[in-house]
Amino acid sequence: MAIIEVKNLVKKYKISEKEHGIIGYIKHLFHPKYKEHIAVNNISFSIEEGELVGYIGENGAGKSTTIKMLTGLLTPTSGNVVVNGIIPNEERIKNNKQIGAVLGQKTQLWWDLPVIESFELIKKMYEIPNEQYEKNLKKFTEILDLEDLLDKQVKNLSLGQKMRCEIAATFLHNPKVVYLDEPTIGLDILVKENIRKFIKDINKERKTTVILTTHDLKDIEEVCDRIILIDKGTIIYDGDKENFKNIYGKHTMIEFIVKNKNVNITLETSEEEFEVIDESDKNIKIKFNHDKFTVMDIVKLISNYCEILDIHIQEEGLEEILKEIYRGEIIDD
């Protein structure tokens, strides 16, 4: 059975429609008016134990709302969530024991305490056996490079240092499922790499199921095998990451280093099929639909205009594909 089952999940937020000023305030006091905003609109998915799932979509798509319902922090308007046999918002304490979560700016560490004391409090709260605690602490300190941070007060840590400690705290009790809502936001490249490696290591070792929300698609490229793409509260893709690229990645980028170029490149075709992205005396960058043209077609075309010195070919990555989807170029409403 799947470890996470989500069925026809809906979350509607009630937003008060208050007029401006004191009169508006008084009016609202006696005749409150509300409108509804559907943040999550009838979504269903199931996730097997050990999966690494990237939950992606534009700002406001409904990702954090979904994650909050999965953790039990929010009650669904309708539909069902079952995580490892538990309904999260009905059995929050029981659910909390089996999950870990990093939710945006919220911290699970105690601001005024040294990091190690926060970890020890977590040990007590979750009743983590000594041996497991020591083993995890040693391992996490090593991978996340926490040695110099353990004695520092949380309030004195930098953003990246705090997130590394936060991630360690999340995994200390060996949770079965972990939700990470933008864990790499604002972090430098090395810290991001560290965190990605940590997630992959733990997943491999313990079959921890991870749902990861991020706008840094390198996180997805490196960590996740499966993508769930949500748009305006509705799932528009759920499946294998590579398959996603095959379905939506219709373009190839090709860059030429050239000499003796006299005229500009022209070809009568739509932008979707062939587009000159960049053009100078020494450089030509072209994006083309690889269902319509082959690389050889493009090479032949360019050789009519100039002498080709070097070629660099690049398949479309997740980032480009998502940009096209967000712009409405691939999937219509």
Ligand X SMILES: Nc1ncnc2c1ncn2[C@@H]1O[C@H](COP(=O)(O)OP(=O)(O)OP(=O)(O)O)[C@@H](O)[C@H]1O
Q: Based on CB atoms, which residue is closest to ligand X, 60 or 85?
A: 60
Q: Based on CB atoms, which residue is closest to ligand X, 43 or 167?
A: 43
- Give the nearest distance from C-beta 181 to Mg ion in angstroms: 6
Q: Which stretch binds ligand X (CB under 6 A): 63-71, 157-165, 184-192, 285-293?
A: 63-71
Question: Which residue of 54, 57, 88, 183 would you call a contact of ligand X, by CB under 6 A?
Answer: 57
Question: Which residue of 6, 45, 54, 63 would you call a contact of ligand X, by CB under 6 A?
Answer: 63
Q: Which stretch binds ligand X (CB under 6 A): 54-62, 183-191, 195-203, 265-273?
A: 54-62
Total residues at the site for ligand X (CB under 6 A)? 12
The answer to the question of residue 110 lying near ligand X (CB under 6 A) is no
Query: If DSSP states are collapsed to H, E and C, what string results for the chain?
Result: CCCEEEEEEEEEEEEECCCCHHHHHHHHHHCCCEEEEEEEEEEEEEECCCCEEEEECCCCCCHHHHHHHHHCCCCCCEEEEEECCECCCCCHHHHHHHEEEEECCCCCCCCCCEHHHHHHHHHHHCCCCHHHHHHHHHHHHHHCCCCCCCCCEHHHCCHHHHHHHHHHHHHCCCCCEEEEECCCCCCCHHHHHHHHHHHHHHHHHHCCEEEEECCCHHHHHHHCCEEEEEECCEEEEEEEHHHHHHHHCCEEEEEEEEECCCCCCCCCCCCCCEEEEEECCCEEEEEEECCCCCHHHHHHHHHCCCEEEEEEEEECCHHHHHHHHHCCCCCCC
The answer to the question of residue 54 lying near ligand X (CB under 6 A) is no
- Give the nearest distance from C-beta 286 to Mg ion in angstroms: 36
Enumerate residues 39-68 that contact Mg ion by CB under 5 A.
63-64
Q: Based on CB atoms, which residue is closest to ligand X, 38 or 299?
A: 38
Q: What is the contact surface with ligand X in residues (CB under 6 A)? A: 13, 15, 37, 39, 57, 59-65
